[in-house]
């Protein structure tokens, strides 16, 4: 089914946050900290205030009234302390974007800088064990005797992988348009969840939620970075109040690198052992990562090891250090993405060391139940994905010897990795109403490019037994029935459940149906619910230049029932494309001297361009899982990025014989190995 | 952006007559507007020269004369350029994107400034922006910066692809200014940083590039190779412009070599050229020539890869050009 | 300064701040928000419009420098009511997800299809290259898509190019 908003998107009519018309609108631009740690000692805004068009200057000289218990990243201008370079310390509101930006530059901020610490190190003395890792997992688990498992193994690997800071970089920079009407606030925000955003904005400003409305009908990507409220939205609200006019805040691409979250860098040690037949005797996965001094955010990178393979001994651990950096946050498949990169790379090393085909090694270690928790899987078709992928990819023709295939100046290799992502859902509300010959579904869901509007249309139409053309889905507005945000690949499972129930009630009622799935979801459980997949990559590496190209990526996924093949394929392929970026080019470089990052734009932080991805294909197998939700569907937004980087890294090894254990795999690192 | 005035010139002489201290010439704007938005460039007035009638590509005997306002895309698609100067065509086509090439002018491309991350961030020191403020790239992030000809004051690289080809082709840059007109040979337009890294080129204030003259192309085969992490739309880690003419006896009768991405200026590899002339065209001579050039390299900890990369790329490109 | 632009066929005369980019003029002054701001530095292509028929980055053009010129944005790509073949093909091939890069992709593709000559991946500079998938990918690499819709984008453009 074509995207229902497709026509609006190709004609430019789809409006994103700051594209809504607003009378007499003003513009606010933030002033950002130029130190990584210390205090603001003085803010001289006299020059800025006197510049043409300036309406207001906001800063800690006149702290706004914000809730004491609000997210410290959102408590703008409340204190003088600086926690990271790029933190907002002031802002200017002016009549035009040009005037606001020029005046923001004219604000002079004086600091008392303190020595900062911005670099994650494996031996950092302040590493500690967090109580929980995102979103609520225990930091450590232990089952069996890892030391004995390793000691008794016929083959072992003990390797450390590193992943850099990665930035989500949605194409639409975070932006908000705020307007007050008396004590009521409307924010057109670029957010992955209008209801959650509304709640956070209201709580931060000390307003009842009923006084705030968030509208976000179209969102130009988020990949996790718009899952939580960001400072631009609070700034827009404060600036609009100060100026007495609607205010737009559109962050620059450079500012996105500072205040919209990022994927923590990781240092991951993997110890694996197997017997001579390839059966695992132990898995140990230890992760070191960072958070800010403001907020503890611990990415769950070792959590997928609790799900993947059968082993008598399994230990997973997370250690965190609080640095003078911005708070890391969600980026597509937090936990699984970096964690499976390391685990699946180590599995490839183990396969090579044991002389076992890497597909077969994974098949050999297929568990009967979830290894860490012991729950039965609601469905698990990793082996089917590996077999189907191997068949489609032509894996049986593969010679395992590394570094021996040449085509012209290129060394050619192939690699495989497994993929997984949890399949969960959250309570949601929805209504369905018969109106003027149409069926209107209302839900505060978000379509950030996933196709949610289209998929919910299809789900409603199927439940009602009517053509999709007779269904209209309204979403992206916090005034609609409350719904969870688009995140954790839970969106469609959560919203779809509520839409099915609302439509079922409409069928009974004849006119209207409402649904709240809280009780239904609480009643579930008893199963480990995960999607699985297998990723295959072909790479070419020029040993003279270190250039790496990926002529083929192929993924096969098991995700329950696929609601819409076109939308699903786009999600998988999009995730795999982002995974290619992670493998070969994406890296935010921490500025050790000044804090923040040295690269902070799209010329220096490379995301894949069209020329990088000649052939990315995604397939899925039929999977019937009755334990999930009324649709029988698992979320698909994130699994596509999980395992891609490992498959590419494993293929680079197969092509060249080199293991680069430090992403991204750049010419610099390859040339150091040749 | 700081407020500025804007005026459009109708002729080159008029533009120079209009020019006063604090002004800058505006070509395609692809780098200048970018730098103004970053606060790196703060002109008091822009003199728009993008519509000057300097937009012709014309044969000049067996050579070529390219107006300074010719857009990169028109240069890269021009039949005379494709036929006579494939090295230049490939260099231009490998730069930036289709949109940028439609905007960027030949004159502006030559005068674009470094993409060193510190130069582009006005909240950090940079000797190129403010002489004497320091160079944080040397102890910091210099992974993409210079390995040849840099100084303790600056390790910036010149980002142009086109200029590397022009340096290999012995192009001459026609300039007009308050003190009259002159020709500046390529290489030679761009300076090494020394202790004045704020000066990218030898041009004086108010001087305007009007044209680039290309002598007849060197005999033999020529190409341009560019290495980058992303397959397109990225600056070079290292690039090579090369022309090779192998005589009937199998020895090198003529060679041109220039490197991009390694220095503050397009780097004409004169030592490699000298080592190659008269030598038997082959792997051994190519490797020796590359070594002779890169002996001078002074890599920093995070850009040491550029030395083997440049060496290998020279050898690979010369091999490709050997009949 | 006062300038006159021909925007999607309509002549528009208005005073502008010399600092205003063509992109901000379109979005903030003329209400044409189809052209997107993804980076404001010519690094993503979301702002691509046609200026005198050629694809350019509207974020790097000063509006004053466009005085007297004709601009086509995504809103003006097709005739009244109908869709441009590229717009149809983008829908049919699911060549977008979030849609934010889409107007720039469309304008870029329209400009690209009118261009002549080789690209960086053309092997023989002397021959007029056919618009293979590889040629399309290279020529469209100035338009980033973080959703990774490139497979659909290339298929859609290839269909229209045929």
We report the CATH number of the domain holding residue A582 as 3.30.365.10
Give the chains touching B; criterion: ≥3 Cβ pairs < 8 Å: A, C
CA distances in angstroms from A19 to A181, A609, B302, C98, C102, listed in the order given = 19, 26, 43, 15, 15
Q: Between chain B and chain C, how many beta carbons pairs sit less than 8 Å apart? A: 107
**Residue A302 is assigned to a structural domain of this protein:** no
Residues B227, A589: C-beta atoms closer than 8 Å: no
For residues A416 and A509, state if they share a domain: no
**How far apart (Å, rounded) are the C-alpha atoms in residues A193 and A426?**
13
Q: Are A476 and A217 in contact (CB under 8 A)?
A: yes
Residues C97, A451: C-beta atoms closer than 8 Å: yes
Task: Give the tens place of pLDDT for each residue, A57-97.
Answer: 999 999 999 999 999 999 999 999 999 999 999 999 999 99
Residue of A nearest to C77 (CA): A11
**How far apart (Å, rounded) are the C-alpha atoms in residues B98 and B90?**
13
Partnered with residue A315 across adjacent β-strands are: A142, A284
Res B239 pLDDT > 90: yes
Domains of chain B with CATH codes: 5-48 (3.30.43.10), 221-321 (3.30.390.50)
Residues C103, A575: C-beta atoms closer than 8 Å: no
For residues A403 and A460, state if they share a domain: no
A607 close contact with C: CB closer than 8 A = yes
Q: Residue B232: which of C116, C117, C120 has the nearest Cβ?
A: C120
**Residue A236 is assigned to a structural domain of this protein:** no
Res A292 pLDDT > 80: yes
For residues A535 and A583, state if they share a domain: yes
Q: How far is B144 from chain A (nearest CA, A)?
A: 10
Res C81 pLDDT > 90: no
Residues A667, B309: C-beta atoms closer than 8 Å: yes
Residues C41, B97: C-beta atoms closer than 8 Å: no
**Residue A179 is assigned to a structural domain of this protein:** no
CA distances in angstroms from A273 to A128, A157, A354, listed in the order given = 27, 7, 10
Q: pTM for the complete prediction?
A: 0.98
B248 close contact with C: CB closer than 8 A = no
Task: Give the tens place of pLDDT for each residue, C30-75.
Answer: 999 999 999 999 999 999 999 999 999 999 999 999 999 999 999 9
Residue listed under structure tokens 């839900």: A443
Residues B98, C55: C-beta atoms closer than 8 Å: yes
Q: How far is A668 from chain B (nearest CA, A)?
A: 5
Residues C38, A610: C-beta atoms closer than 8 Å: no
Comparing C127 with B73, the larger pLDDT belongs to B73
Residues C141, B97: C-beta atoms closer than 8 Å: yes
**Residue A512 is assigned to a structural domain of this protein:** yes
For residues A409 and A435, state if they share a domain: no
**Residue A502 is assigned to a structural domain of this protein:** yes
Q: Are A491 and A421 in contact (CB under 8 A)?
A: no
* Confidence label for A524 from pLDDT (cuts 50, 70 and 90): confident
Residues A607, C106: C-beta atoms closer than 8 Å: no
SS3 content of chain B, % helix, strand, coil (to 5): 25, 25, 50
**How far apart (Å, rounded) are the C-alpha atoms in residues A594 and A374?**
47
**How far apart (Å, rounded) are the C-alpha atoms in residues B203 and B190?**
9
pLDDT at A375: 97
Residue of A nearest to C83 (CA): A11
Element (DSSP H or E) covering residue A186: strand A184-189
> In this structure, what is the dihedral angle of CA atoms C128, C130, C134, C138, given to the nearest 10 degrees?
50
Reply yes or no on whether A366 is catalytic: no
pLDDT at B290: 98
Average pLDDT of every residue of chain A:
98
Res B124 pLDDT > 80: yes
pLDDT at A666: 98
DSSP A303: G
- All residues of chain A having their beta carbon less than 8 Å from the beta carbon of residue B261 are none
Residues A606, B230: C-beta atoms closer than 8 Å: yes
The whole-number average pLDDT for the span C96-100 is: 98
C149 close contact with A: CB closer than 8 A = yes
- All residues of chain C having their beta carbon less than 8 Å from the beta carbon of residue B29 are 60-62, 65
B149 CB-side CA count, 13 A: 20
CB neighbourhood size of A526 (10 A): 9
Q: Is A307 exposed, middle or buried (0-12, 13-18, 19+ CB in 10 A)?
A: buried
Q: Residue A2: which of C33, C78, C91 has the nearest Cβ?
A: C91
- All residues of chain A having their beta carbon less than 8 Å from the beta carbon of residue B228 are 547
- All residues of chain C having their beta carbon less than 8 Å from the beta carbon of residue B8 are 65, 67
Res A544 pLDDT > 80: yes
Q: Residue A594: which of B124, B237, B305 has the nearest Cβ?
A: B124
Res C121 pLDDT > 80: yes
* Confidence label for B234 from pLDDT (cuts 50, 70 and 90): very high
pLDDT at A104: 98
Partnered with residue C50 across adjacent β-strands are: C55, C72
pLDDT at C79: 80
- CB interface of C with A, residues 15-74, below 8 Å: 17, 19-20, 24, 27-28, 31-41, 43-44, 46, 73-74
Domains of chain C with CATH codes: 2-76 (3.10.20.30), 85-161 (1.10.150.120)
In 3D, which of A361, A197, A374 has the Cα closest to residue A277?
A361
Q: How far is C141 from chain A (nearest CA, A)?
A: 5
Count: domains in chain A: 2
For residues A384 and A413, state if they share a domain: yes
Residue listed under structure tokens 């409305």: A213
Strand order in the sheet with A266-274: A141-143, A314-323, A280-292, A266-274, A155-163
Backbone angles phi, psi at A3, to 5 degrees: -60, 135
In 3D, which of A650, A668, A642 has the Cα closest to residue A589?
A668
Residues B5, C65: C-beta atoms closer than 8 Å: no
Among A523, A549, A574, the domain-final residue is A523
> Would you tell me the crossing angle of helices C150-161 and C102-113 to the nearest 10 degrees?
30
Q: How far is C161 from chain A (nearest CA, A)?
A: 17
Q: Residue A610: which of C31, C106, C154 has the nearest Cβ?
A: C154
For residues A462 and A554, state if they share a domain: no
Q: Are A318 and A335 in contact (CB under 8 A)?
A: no
**How far apart (Å, rounded) are the C-alpha atoms in residues A144 and A314?**
6
Q: Are B119 and A603 in contact (CB under 8 A)?
A: no
Residues spanned by the domain of A638: 379-421+529-674
**How far apart (Å, rounded) are the C-alpha atoms in residues C158 and C155?**
5
For residues A542 and A622, state if they share a domain: yes
Beta-carbon contacts of residue C81 (< 8 Å; ≥ 6 apart): none
* Confidence label for C129 from pLDDT (cuts 50, 70 and 90): confident
Partnered with residue A44 across adjacent β-strands are: A108
Q: Are B142 and B302 in contact (CB under 8 A)?
A: yes
Task: Give the tens place of pLDDT for each residue, A573-627.
Answer: 999 999 999 999 999 999 999 999 999 999 999 999 999 999 999 999 999 999 9
Task: Give the tens place of pLDDT for each residue, B143-177.
Answer: 999 999 999 999 999 999 999 999 999 999 999 99
**How far apart (Å, rounded) are the C-alpha atoms in residues B162 and A518?**
63
For residues A567 and A436, state if they share a domain: no
For residues A535 and A661, state if they share a domain: yes
How far does chain B reach from its first CA to its final CA, in angstroms? 53
**Residue A70 is assigned to a structural domain of this protein:** no
Residues A221, C98: C-beta atoms closer than 8 Å: yes
For residues A585 and A652, state if they share a domain: yes
A96 close contact with C: CB closer than 8 A = yes
pLDDT at A523: 87
- All residues of chain C having their beta carbon less than 8 Å from the beta carbon of residue A225 are none
Is cis: bond before A664, omega within 30 of 0?
yes
For residues A451 and A472, state if they share a domain: yes
Among A484, A508, A523, the domain-final residue is A523
Angle at A657 between CA A651 and CA A661, to 5 degrees: 70
Res C80 pLDDT > 80: no
Helix boundaries (H) for C29-84? none
Among A491, A523, A555, the domain-final residue is A523
Report percent pLDDT > 90 for chain A. 99
Q: Residue A102: which of B2, B313, B316 has the nearest Cβ?
A: B2
B8 close contact with C: CB closer than 8 A = yes
- CB interface of B with A, residues 162-221, below 8 Å: none
For residues A500 and A632, state if they share a domain: no
* Confidence label for A638 from pLDDT (cuts 50, 70 and 90): very high
Check the CA dihedral C118-C123-C125-C129 and report its sign: negative
Residue of B nearest to C104 (CA): B99
Report percent pLDDT > 90 for chain B. 100
Q: Are A328 and A301 in contact (CB under 8 A)?
A: no
Res A310 pLDDT > 90: yes
Q: Are C106 and C84 in contact (CB under 8 A)?
A: yes
pLDDT at A247: 98
Q: How far is B295 from chain C (nearest CA, A)?
A: 31
Residues A574, C121: C-beta atoms closer than 8 Å: no
Task: Give the tens place of pLDDT for each residue, B168-194.
Answer: 999 999 999 999 999 999 999 999 999
**Residue A621 is assigned to a structural domain of this protein:** yes
**Residue of B43, B88, B99 to mutate when probing chain C, most C C-beta within 10 A:** B99
Residues A598, B309: C-beta atoms closer than 8 Å: no
**Residue A306 is assigned to a structural domain of this protein:** no
Q: Are A417 and A543 in contact (CB under 8 A)?
A: no
Radius of gyration of chain B (CA): 19
Q: Residue C118: which of B3, B8, B82 has the nearest Cβ?
A: B82
In 3D, which of A395, A328, A640 has the Cα closest to residue A538?
A395
A609 close contact with B: CB closer than 8 A = yes
CB neighbourhood size of C81 (10 A): 5
Pairing state of beta strands B221-227 and B238-246?
antiparallel
pLDDT at C82: 92
């Amino acid at each position: 089914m074509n995207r229902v908003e497709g026509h609006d998107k190709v004609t430019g009519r789809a409006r994103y946050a700051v594209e809504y018309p607003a009378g007499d609108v003003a513009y606010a631009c933030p002033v950002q900290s130029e130190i990584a740690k210390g205090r603001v000692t003085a803010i001289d805004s006299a020059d800025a205030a006197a510049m043409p068009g300036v309406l207001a200057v906001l800063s800690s000289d006149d702290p706004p009234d914000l809730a004491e218990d609000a997210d410290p990243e959102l408590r703008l201008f409340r204190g003088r302390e600086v926690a990271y370079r790029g933190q907002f310390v002031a802002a200017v509101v002016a009549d035009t974007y040009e005037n606001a930006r020029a005046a923001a530059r004219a604000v002079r901020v004086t600091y008392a800088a303190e020595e900062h610490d911005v670099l994650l190190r494996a031996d950092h003395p302040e590493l500690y064990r967090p109580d929980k890792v995102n979103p609520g997992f225990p930091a450590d688990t232990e089952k069996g005797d890892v030391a004995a498992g390793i000691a008794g193994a016929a083959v072992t690997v003990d390797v450390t992988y590193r992943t850099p800071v990665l930035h989500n970089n949605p194409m639409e920079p975070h932006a908000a348009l705020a307007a007050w009407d008396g004590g009521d606030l409307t924010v057109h925000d670029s957010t992955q969840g209008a209801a959650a955003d509304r709640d956070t904005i209201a709580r931060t400003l000390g307003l009842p939620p009923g006084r705030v409305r968030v509208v976000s009908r179209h969102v130009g990507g988020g990949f996790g970075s718009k899952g939580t409220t960001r400072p631009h939205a609070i700034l827009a609200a404060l600036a609009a109040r100060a100026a007495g006019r609607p205010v737009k805040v559109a962050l620059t691409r450079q500012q996105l690198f500072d205040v919209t979250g990022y994927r923590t860098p990781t240092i991951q040690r993997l110890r694996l052992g197997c017997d001579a037949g390839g059966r695992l005797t132990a898995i140990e996965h230890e992760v070191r990562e960072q958070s800010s001094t403001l907020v503890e955010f611990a990415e769950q990178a070792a959590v997928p090891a609790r799900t993947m393979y059968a082993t008598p001994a399994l230990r997973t651990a997370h250690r965190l250090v609080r640095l003078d950096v911005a708070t890391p946050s969600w980026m597509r498949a937090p936990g699984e993405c970096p964690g499976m990169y390391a685990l699946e790379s180590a599995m490839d090393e183990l396969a090579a060391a044991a002389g076992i085909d890497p597909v077969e090694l994974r098949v050999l270690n297929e568990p009967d139940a979830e290894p860490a928790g012991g729950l039965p899987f609601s469905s698990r078709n990793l082996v089917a994905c590996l077999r189907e992928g191997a068949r489609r990819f032509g894996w049986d023709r593969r010679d395992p010897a590394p570094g021996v295939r040449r085509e012209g100046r290129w060394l050619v290799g192939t690699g495989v990795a497994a993929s997984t992502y949890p399949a969960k859902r959250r309570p949601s509300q929805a209504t369905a109403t018969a109106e003027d010959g149409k069926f209107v579904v209302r839900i505060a869901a978000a379509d950030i490019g996933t196709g949610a509007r289209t998929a919910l249309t299809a789900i409603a139409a199927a439940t009602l037994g009517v053509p999709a053309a007779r269904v209209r889905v309204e979403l992206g507005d916090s005034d609609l029935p409350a719904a969870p945000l688009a995140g954790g690949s839970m969106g469609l499972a959560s919203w779809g459940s509520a839409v099915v129930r609302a439509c079922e009630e409409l069928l009974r009622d004849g006119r209207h149906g409402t649904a709240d799935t809280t009780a239904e979801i609480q009643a579930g459980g008893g199963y480990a619910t995960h999607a699985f997949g297998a990723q295959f990559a072909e790479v070419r590496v020029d040993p003279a230049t270190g250039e790496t190209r990926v002529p083929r990526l192929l993924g096969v996924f098991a995700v329950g029932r696929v609601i819409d093949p076109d939308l699903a394929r786009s999600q998988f392929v999009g995730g795999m494309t982002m995974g290619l970026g992670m493998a070969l080019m994406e890296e935010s470089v921490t500025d050790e001297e000044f804090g923040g990052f040295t690269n902070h734009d799209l010329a220096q932080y490379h995301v894949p361009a069209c020329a990088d991805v000649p052939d990315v294909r995604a397939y899925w197998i039929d999977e019937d899982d009755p334990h999930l939700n009324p649709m029988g569907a698992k979320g698909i937004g994130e699994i596509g990025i999980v395992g891609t980087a490992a498959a590419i890294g494993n293929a680079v090894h197969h092509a060249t014989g080199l293991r680069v254990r430090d992403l991204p795999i750049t010419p610099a690192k390859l040339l150091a190995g040749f | 952006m700081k407020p500025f005035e804007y005026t459009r010139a109708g002729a080159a002489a008029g533009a120079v007559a209009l020019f006063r201290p604090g002004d800058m010439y505006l070509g395609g704007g692809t780098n200048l507007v970018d730098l103004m938005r970053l606060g790196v460039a703060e002109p008091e007035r822009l003199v728009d020269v993008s519509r000057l009638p300097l937009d012709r590509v014309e044969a000049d005997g067996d050579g070529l004369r390219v107006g300074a306002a010719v857009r990169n895309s028109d240069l890269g698609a021009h039949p005379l350029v494709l036929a006579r100067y494939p090295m230049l065509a490939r260099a231009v086509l490998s730069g930036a994107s289709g949109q940028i090439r439609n905007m960027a002018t030949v004159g502006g491309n030559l005068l674009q400034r470094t993409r060193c991350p510190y130069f582009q961030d006005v909240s950090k020191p940079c000797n190129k922006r403010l002489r004497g403020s320091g160079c944080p790239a040397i102890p910091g992030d210099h992974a993409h910066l210079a390995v040849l000809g840099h100084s303790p004051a600056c390790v910036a690289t010149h980002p142009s692809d086109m200029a590397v080809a022009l340096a290999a082709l012995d192009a001459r840059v026609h300039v007009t200014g308050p003190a009259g007109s002159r020709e500046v040979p390529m290489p030679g337009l761009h300076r090494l940083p020394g202790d004045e890294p704020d000066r990218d080129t030898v041009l004086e204030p108010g001087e305007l590039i009007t044209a680039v003259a290309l002598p007849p192309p060197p005999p033999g085969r020529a190409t341009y190779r560019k290495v980058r992490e992303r397959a397109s739309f990225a600056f070079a880690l290292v690039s090579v412009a090369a022309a090779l003419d192998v005589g009937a006896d199998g020895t090198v009768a003529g060679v041109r070599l220039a490197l991009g991405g390694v220095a503050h200026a397009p780097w004409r590899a004169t030592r490699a050229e000298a080592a190659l002339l008269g030598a038997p065209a082959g792997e051994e001579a190519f490797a020796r020539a590359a070594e002779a050039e890169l002996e001078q390299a002074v890599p920093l900890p995070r850009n040491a890869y550029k030395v083997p990369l440049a060496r290998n790329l020279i050898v690979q490109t010369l091999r490709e050009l050997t009949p | 300064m006062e300038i006159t632009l021909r925007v999607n066929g309509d002549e528009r005369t208005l005073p502008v701040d010399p600092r205003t980019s063509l992109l901000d003029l379109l979005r903030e002054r003329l209400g044409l928000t189809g052209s997107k701001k993804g980076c404001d530095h010519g690094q993503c292509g979301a702002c691509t419009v046609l200026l005198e028929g050629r694809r350019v980055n509207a974020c790097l053009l000063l509006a004053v420098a466009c005085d007297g010129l004709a601009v086509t944005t995504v809103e003006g790509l097709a005739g009244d009511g109908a869709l441009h073949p590229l717009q149809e093909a983008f829908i049919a091939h699911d060549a977008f997800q979030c849609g934010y890069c889409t107007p720039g992709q469309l304008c870029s593709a329209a400009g690209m299809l009118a261009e002549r000559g080789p690209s960086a991946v053309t092997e023989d500079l002397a021959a007029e290259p056919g618009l293979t998938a590889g040629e399309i990918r290279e020529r469209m690499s100035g338009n980033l898509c973080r959703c990774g819709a490139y497979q659909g984008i290339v298929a859609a453009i290839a269909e229209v190019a045929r």
